[in-house]
Structure 1
Amino acid sequence: MQYRCTVCGYIYDDSKEGTPFDQLPEDWACPVCNAPKDAFEPV
């Protein structure tokens, strides 16, 4: 599944990253703009 950062548009792709988005730590942030995890939405 893919999740998009609503701030910068970065796409987190579970299949490419190796860790399901819902298993990332709560303090995980967008690697591009540092937006919090809750700024992401499913694509």
Structure 2
Amino acid sequence: MTDAPYKTWQCRTCGYLYDEAAGDPAEGLAPGTRWRDLPDDWVCPLCGTPKADFDMAEL
């Protein structure tokens, strides 16, 4: 069984994109880190918006 395709999530406040495939190494998130694996208290690194206020982006 293969994992589902990687997804991208967008901050509703500032537009920051979190790409699961790329991760965010500057924030300590390795490439391949799934959205579900980010802590519930994770916030946008640009504006501080909570994880709950991100939407999956269809790119």
Instruction: Compute the TM-score of the two structures, normalised by the length of structure 2.
Output: 0.70
- Structure 2 stretches lacking a partner, 5+ long: 1-6, 24-30
Structure with bigger RCO (C-alpha 8 Å, 6+ apart) = 1
Identical pairs, percent: 40
Residues matched between the structures, number: 43
- Structure 1 stretches lacking a partner, 5+ long: none
Structure in which a larger fraction of residues adopt helix: 1
Select the structure of larger CA radius of gyration: 2
Instruction: Compute the TM-score of the two structures, normalised by the length of structure 1.
Output: 0.94
Structure in which a larger fraction of residues adopt strand: 1
